[in-house]
Copies of this chain bind each other. A is one copy, B any other.
């Protein structure tokens, strides 16, 4: 099992709306995440918009490819893109950078 941490930057003027949208993620999106191997998935938001994602998966590439192949993800990411800074035309799920795990205790 792989633990994945990634960072994105939400626009400072849209933090509340971002949080509201994520309190009501479409059931179809949740079902697609679970089906494609995203488990124990959380998003954390700092006051300045720094967004930290954490999830666990058996196969990161399969999880990314699996979601990328769904229609619901394309629709969701299209709606989320305007919330983020510095995506350079990429979708949020294409722009995220993962961090190196340096410690783990079960």
B-facing mask of A8-48, CB < 8 A → 1, else 0? Answer: 00000000001100110100001001100011111111100
Complex formed: what's the CA distance from A39 to B27 in Å?
Answer: 29
Question: Contact partner of A101 among B33, B42, B97, CB < 8 A?
Answer: B42
Among A30, A105, A106, residue most surrounded by chain B Cβ atoms (within 10 Å): A105
- A5 CB contacts on chain B under 8 angstroms: 42, 44, 52, 54
A104 touches B42 (CB 8 A): yes
Question: Contact partner of A43 among B19, B39, B50, B102, CB < 8 A?
Answer: B102
Interface size class, chain A: 20 to 34
Complex formed: what's the CA distance from A99 to B45 in Å?
Answer: 6
Complex formed: what's the CA distance from A5 to B22 in Å?
Answer: 17
A102 touches B7 (CB 8 A): no
